[in-house]
Amino acid sequence: MVSAQPAFGGMFRQLIELGVVEIDTEPLDARIERRLKEFWENTSCPRCGHQSIVTWDALDRIWCRDCNFKPVYTYGTPFHEKHLSGGEVLLAFTLYADTLLSINQIAPFLGRAYRTVYTAIREVEAAVQRGFPVVWSLLAQTIDGPTQVDESGKVCSGYKGQETPRNSRSRGGSSRSGRSRWRGRHGDQLTLVAACRDSLRVIRGQLGIDYSGDLEPVIQEAEDLSQPLGEVWTDGLQAYREMERDHRTVVHKERYVSPSGVHINQVECLFSLIQPWLRKFRGLSKQGLEQAAHTFGIVRSLNLAGETTESVIDCLVIGAFRSST
């Protein structure tokens, strides 16, 4: 029996092993260090609360002049105490969030264990999600046009990262091996709801596959980030008809663009991009699916706004500092 290799492919793996493909993250390491130290100089000490932090270009320590606290500059961030350099941590997250590569494929590329890369990516992902609203509000851009809203049903794996259910008809199991045999019970089903306005992409999860839930979370987040919300466009789904907010609809049974020009093409395009991206995970729990989809929306928004890696670093750093205050 030949085991499947969850890497780029046999030939590319050989190139990595031969040293043909090399990674130099020193420029990225330097940029992360500079940005972290800039934030330390403008924040309060996590130990005593005084804003008296000093940094030095040649040292990896910061110093609080009030309480003499001297941690490394990565203290309190996802870069702290990792077996990866700061640049490798950010590279791993970028490959995860902005390509079709899975963590199983990224780990060999960096020459690290799966768990090392997985932990780093998850910590960065959480920090980026916390910091994104602040960074997005500071970007020099104008968000305009209607807010398009649509949904796409996804079935979660039900047990990923947990105990595998028994192979019985009552539990939905089968004699087939592999994680794909479990489709999950109704409580393991999640509908992804997305709102798109100009370059902004917001994706959230709603429980259940026969979606009739509250649209408020995704629309409220879109409004908070786009200031103001603008006109809302949806399709003819019953859940949208019951919205308290004023909106315009296009009924897809009749046409895809209404006579007045209403459509949800931006959201449908977004789902055509996120579906192959999600397939690389080979199943996600409810929490994992919503978190991954939310991350995809953030990175997609930054790409469409023409932002650079610097914005991702800012999201990460602001998110890390927000969680520690």
Q: Considering the domain boundaries, does residue 312 fall inside one? A: no
Same domain, 201 and 265: yes
Token readout for 209 is: 């596959």
114-128, 176-190, 212-226: which has the highest mean pLDDT?
114-128
Same domain, 108 and 199: no
pLDDT of residue 62: 94
pLDDT of residue 292: 93
The span from the CA of 87 to the CA of 76, in Å, is 17
Same domain, 153 and 121: no
Same domain, 151 and 250: yes
Same domain, 96 and 233: no
pLDDT of residue 156: 67
Q: Considering the domain boundaries, does residue 230 fall inside one? A: yes
Number of independent structural domains in the chain:
2
pLDDT of residue 4: 44
4-8, 65-69, 98-102: which has the highest mean pLDDT?
65-69
Same domain, 126 and 191: no
- At 110 the three-state DSSP class reads helix
pLDDT band at 168 (very low <50, low <70, confident <90, very high): very low
pLDDT of residue 304: 94
Host domain of residue 152: 147-162+179-306
Same domain, 124 and 233: no
Q: What average pLDDT does the segment 267-286 reach? A: 86
Q: Considering the domain boundaries, does residue 321 fall inside one? A: no
pLDDT of residue 296: 95
pLDDT of residue 52: 86
What's the Cα-to-Cα distance from 215 to each of 238, 253, 305, rounded to whole Å?
12, 22, 25
Span 192-219, pLDDT tens digits: 889 999 999 999 987 765 555 567 788 8
Q: What is the DSSP letter of 54?
A: E
Q: Considering the domain boundaries, does residue 316 fall inside one? A: no
pLDDT band at 10 (very low <50, low <70, confident <90, very high): low
Q: Considering the domain boundaries, does residue 154 fall inside one? A: yes
Q: Considering the domain boundaries, does residue 320 fall inside one? A: no
Same domain, 117 and 198: no
The span from the CA of 147 to the CA of 201, in Å, is 10
pLDDT of residue 37: 94
Same domain, 125 and 30: yes
Q: Considering the domain boundaries, does residue 314 fall inside one? A: no
CA angle 20, 97, 204 (to 5 degrees): 170
CATH number at residue 283: 3.30.420
Q: What average pLDDT does the segment 109-127 reach? A: 93
Same domain, 75 and 126: yes
Same domain, 203 and 104: no
The span from the CA of 199 to the CA of 262, in Å, is 18
Same domain, 296 and 206: yes
